[in-house]
Amino acid sequence: MCGKVGLWLCLVVSVLGADYQVTIYPSYLSQGGRTHFEVDRWDGHNGLDSEHFIDKAKSIATESGRWLNRDLNGHTFQNTPQDPHHHGYPDPNHFKEPTFVQNICAKYKQNLQGYGNNSDIVMEIKGKSIRLYWPNWMNTSQHGGKFPNNLDAGAEFIVLLLKSIKQCTHGIIPKYFEVINEPDAAWKYIKWDIVIDFHKIVAQKLKSQFPGIQVGGPTKNGAISGSDKSDFRVWEFSRQFLDMSLDHLDFFSFHPYNFFIVEGNNYRFEGINEARLAGFIDLVESYANQKKGRSVPLILSEYGLSQVRGIDVNKPNPFIDWAYINQHNSHMFTYLNYRNVIDRAIGFILSYGTTLGEASLHYSLFHRDGSLANAAKAYKFWHHLSYQDQFLRIESPFDNKERKISPLAMGNSNNGDVLVLLHNYDRSQARIKLNFDHHWFTPSSGVSHCHYLNSHRQPVLEEWKSMHVSNGYVTVPADGSCIFVFHAKHNFRNVHTIKETTYYGNKMVMRIQKDCAICIFSCASCTYAATANVNVHSLGNVQYARLRIGVSLPGKSGGNPTPKTVLINNHHVTAFYQLFAPGRGHEDTRWEIYEYQIPANFLSSNSNEVKVEFNQSGGYVSTIALIIGN
């Protein structure tokens, strides 16, 4: 076996004959104080459910996670009369009228009864529309007829709506409230500073009326994937919002989506998962830590697959169905690795939708008759995970390559089972060596639970199939996801827990430029670099450390974003892996995320200087984060 120093080197070397490997440790892994698989944070789908779909949704371990369009449906806001005693404001008596109250929340009450009063629903309003939305007595002249001039009056609609819901349910309202859904889509009519001001006003009003409600935004859409465009000018919109929200709101929400592009027999995904998602989360959290010295909770109230290009979405097509399931699962693997800051994630899959005709059925859980549609496999894949399953420390090899396998591991203290979850980003089948550190467990058999695309381009969920394990090898299909369960009967009750903490650098969005200390006298061998300091209050007993670095270069090719040299406290570090970037070569920029392995003796209490050097100038180091496990 590798010694203490040798172990660090041992993990870098690939096992011969394996496409990949992961190392699993007999230690629970706590992120943000969370070790358990908390089902209610991950099992939500969008939209309230009709009564006859509720039991069917529960049977596949999903529930309604987000209440959509209550302001838009039935022209609720548009038909509101003006208060005869307060010009320009909605009439509060209209929102108290018994028939109105019952119509407002009838479906919400059904969902509370079906899923339980403790269901943590996120509620949103559209807030704007390409059609007439606000009542015609309201002055919307400053915003092209799409938004009220008087923001306080607009916010009053929301307060009265929540009061109606509380009246209807005898005291229950949604726990989370998003002020406007994807306001950036209305940029032609509503300036961003108006959006920010409206969020602040709504939050102040709701918190004064409904103690305990959590208010957030801005539910930014898929454009966040390009936050590094134009010298990070797109990121500036999120930064400006955070300047307000870190003081006045409870969470930051956004919608991470990928695109599905089909060209003949070839296909690819583009968008935010995996590298750009990690890059954006680190931007948000780094900024929050710089401004407030703390992280900000994230709610991903929609996610998954957005646009489909190259196939007619208005025709039944199981290939499109598979793409929705694949993106739901691949995003989930990323979210579970950021569970310290992601409070909850709600897939954009509906129980049943007809808004866009056949196109809606690709992301519907059920057919009209209640039978399961293909999209149900997105939740059936996670069906049997429970709160009894606790995350274990698992590590990818630092082999200086792009990581094609996203790994998770769990242990069940009740029955001693070991669960290994693997998502394969590669287009070919992956053979993976499971290394159980110091042979704490040696599997010989187990069961596999895999979702993949078959040769007929149809989604397949192969459930709980018995398998033999030889020398620790398992197989994950191309573009597939698998859960492997081993009945290890391991005693997890006495294992120790590793607490993982992320520390961010004191600078972000750092331009890569000449290192003046080297170039003052001669630039013949000039170095281009970015430098930041990461403050660690107390090192403690370090079990492992990683350095996560985001690098963005302009252009589709973007030169070579891989750092020439990375130093921490003047120690060179060389072993890394690179997060998966599906749209590489097709995006306007190259935004890459690298995770370097850091020996514990390279670290210092308090300030740790990180210097990232390149062969060329141009581009940015977006963030620097130091992840330490104690």
DSSP letters for 214-261: EEEEEEE-GGGGGTTHHHHHHHHHHHHHHHHHHHH-SEEEE--EEEEE
Same domain, yes or no: 22 and 55: no
Using CA atoms, how far apart are residues 599 and 604, in angstroms rounded to an integer? 11
The whole domain housing 272 covers 41-66+109-125+146-151+173-380
Contacts of 497 (CB under 8 A, 6+ apart): 27, 28, 29, 30, 35
Whether 207 maps to a domain, the answer reads yes
Per run of 10 residues, the mean pLDDT along the chain (length 630 residues) is: 35 50 98 96 96 96 94 86 97 96 93 88 79 84 91 97 96 96 88 96 98 96 91 96 98 97 95 96 98 97 96 94 98 97 97 78 93 97 97 98 97 96 96 96 97 97 96 96 97 94 98 72 71 94 97 83 97 98 89 98 96 93 98
> Dihedral of CA 196/301/234/282: which sign?
positive
Domain boundary pick from 352, 380, 408 = 380
Q: What is the Cβ-side half-sphere exposure of residue 494, based on CA atoms within 13 angstroms?
A: 2
How many structural domains compose the chain?
A: 3
Whether 400 maps to a domain, the answer reads yes
Same domain, yes or no: 432 and 514: no
Amino acid at 522: S
CB 77 within 8 A of CB 99: no
Whether 356 maps to a domain, the answer reads yes
φ, ψ of residue 160 to 5 degrees: the values are: -65, -35
Q: What is the structure's pLDDT at 73? A: 79
Same domain, yes or no: 425 and 537: no
Same domain, yes or no: 432 and 506: no
Using CA atoms, how far apart are residues 461 and 480, in angstroms rounded to an integer? 10
Same domain, yes or no: 445 and 317: no
Whether 540 maps to a domain, the answer reads yes
Q: What is the structure's pLDDT at 428? A: 94
Q: What is the structure's pLDDT at 357? A: 67
Distances (CA, A) of 258 to 338, 481, 550, 556: 18, 17, 20, 18
Same domain, yes or no: 334 and 272: yes
Using CA atoms, how far apart are residues 71 and 63, in angstroms rounded to an integer? 22
Same domain, yes or no: 116 and 235: yes
Q: What is the structure's pLDDT at 361? A: 87
Same domain, yes or no: 115 and 249: yes
Same domain, yes or no: 256 and 121: yes
Same domain, yes or no: 488 and 455: yes
pTM: 0.94
Whether 166 maps to a domain, the answer reads no
SS3 of residue 306 by DSSP: strand
Domain boundary pick from 494, 524, 554 = 494
Same domain, yes or no: 401 and 362: no
Q: What is the structure's pLDDT at 251? A: 98
Whether 191 maps to a domain, the answer reads yes
Same domain, yes or no: 345 and 423: no
Query: Which CATH number belongs to the domain containing residue 621 in this structure?
Result: 2.60.120.1200
Q: What is the structure's pLDDT at 359? A: 77
Whether 78 maps to a domain, the answer reads no
Please tell me the total number of residues recorded for the chain in this structure.
630
Domain boundary pick from 474, 494, 514 = 494
Whether 165 maps to a domain, the answer reads no
Query: Which CATH number belongs to the domain containing residue 14 in this structure?
Result: 2.60.40.1180
User: What is the phi-psi region of residue 360: left when phi exceeds 0, alpha when psi lies from -120 to 50, beta otherwise?
Assistant: alpha
